[in-house]
Amino acid sequence: DPFTMDQILSYPFVTGIVSAEHADRIAWVRVVNGVRNVWVADGPAFAPKQVTQYTQDDGQEITQLTFSPDGKHLLYVRGGDHDANWPAAGDLAPDPNSSTEQPMVTIWSVSLAGAAPAKVAEGDEPAITNDGRVAYIKDHHVWLTDLSPKAKPARFFFDRGNDGHPSWSPDGKRLAFVSARDNDDHSFIGIYVNAATPLLYLTPSTGRDNAPVWSKDGSQIAFVRQPGRGGAPEPILQQVPNPWAIWVADSTGGAGRKVWESPNTLLGSFPEGAGNANLHWAAGNRLVFTADLDNWPHLYSVPASGGDAMLLTSGNIMVEDVSESRDGRFMIYSANTGPDANDDDRRHIFRVPADAATPTEITTGDGLETSPVPAGDDSVAFISAGAKRPFSVAVARADGSETHDLSGGSLPKDFPLDALVVPKKVTFQSPDGLTIHGQLFQRDRTQ
């Protein structure tokens, strides 16, 4: 063989790309030979810059990169297993390096001016305001701290649930969160205002409420509601529907209303793909979400006041990795489609208006593009790769022009780029008549 296992496994990997809400700044995690580090890039040039200096393959993942809305602060979480493969017995974090010191899940602050990262607190799921206040989850409760060196983290408030998904209001004065009760058989969307104001629970029920999303003016919150757990056991050998609905509630009084409901069918079940429902509050007071109503994950749009859902994407394609343009007028997503017949084996980036079923392509070609995020008012950043080209970050104009790669570090010198092959798309029929898709890797023996 023309290369060794060490050579082929030395390729860099990119994950966790995020962008600031009101600044032309992006960040991502780059993994080389198991060593994870955070990189950032600022527009309009988007020159990549490494802002952490980890040197060991210690198995401690870096996840949940989180910008403050103005892009001046960047947090990340180090440790844990956010793919949920780890048995969380005793809430112990993974220790794949057999360290003699117990690994903890910790939140860190990146200095964008070049100083070393600073530990913020032990915890998870950080949410940060422009003035540096950080709400996060620790021991299943919401805690609060700030970025000052003398900060003393403390539990933010008391409630009876296991909390998660903290989300600041657009003005940074109120915090929404999910409060799960009784082994998660039902859950509420709560809002904290201040110590003198009782917690507000939005139209509470016996259902499981999740994924709170603030309206642009902070006056309302949209969320997903599923039926509560309980009742007779479900049959083991039979699929049953998992219906769900989208609700909107007043963020000051708590009264709410159902604005969309899935059919009580298997295809109407709660989506289990990337991002689940991918609920967004877009411009024009429209709610955009993902559903599998025709057996394919597509984007739909419905008025926040309620009404019929509009299908924004269509066809035998999978919509994944959904984000929102800076002005909220467009949804940006990846999907396995495009003008080439082989694009069903690839991923490209598209955008579609929140109120019209007119998707347009941002990227094309024989590569793979995933995980898009807005990189400015008219640009998109995403993760890019090819059959021979490992993962990197790229930026393109929203109209698909001026795409350029942000390598953020070169390939290892002995990476066998020229020895790799481009797979061929193959299909064949199964005995019961299904078309099975595969890929054939065939090396030219004359090389």
pLDDT per residue as tens digits for the range 175-215? 999 999 988 899 999 999 999 999 999 999 999 999 999 99
For the CA atoms of 326, 142, 14, 211, what is the dihedral angle to 10 degrees?
-50
| pLDDT per residue as tens digits for the range 308-345 | 999 999 999 999 999 999 999 999 999 999 999 899 99
**What is the pLDDT, as a whole number, of residue 232?**
87
Residues of the chain above pLDDT 70, percent: 97
Torsion angles phi and psi, residue 344, rounded to 5: -70, -15
Averaged pLDDT for residues 26-32: 95
Band the pLDDT of 90: cuts 50, 70, 90: low
Residues in contact with 36: Cβ distance below 8 Å, sequence separation at least 6, in sequence order: 29, 30, 54, 60, 61, 62
Give strand pairing partners of 192.
175
**Are the beta carbons of 246 and 213 closer than 8 angstroms?**
no
Which pLDDT does position 411 carry in this prediction? 82
Condensed to tens digits (0 to 9), the pLDDT of residues 107-118 reads: 999 988 878 999
Mean pLDDT of the 44-62 span = 93
SS3 220: strand
Classify burial at 28, counting beta carbons within 10 Å of its beta carbon; exposed 0-12, middle 13-18, buried 19 or more.
buried
Q: What's CA 373's distance to the chain center, in Å? A: 10
Q: What is the pLDDT of residue 89?
A: 52
Q: How far apart are CA 218 and CA 225, in angstroms?
A: 20
Residue 259 has pLDDT above 90, yes or no: yes
Average of per-residue pLDDT across 409-428: 87
- Is pLDDT at 303 greater than 80 in this prediction? yes
Question: What does the pLDDT read at residue 230?
Answer: 87
Query: Do the beta carbons of residue 175 and residue 144 sit within 8 Å?
Result: no
Contacts of 142 (CB under 8 A, 6+ apart): 135, 136, 155, 156, 157, 163, 166, 175, 177, 192
Q: How confident is residue 173, by pLDDT bands cut at 50, 70 and 90? A: very high
Range of lowest pLDDT (211-220, 249-258, 408-417, 421-430): 408-417
Query: Is residue 84 predicted with pLDDT exceeding 70?
Result: no
pLDDT given for residue 85 in this prediction = 66
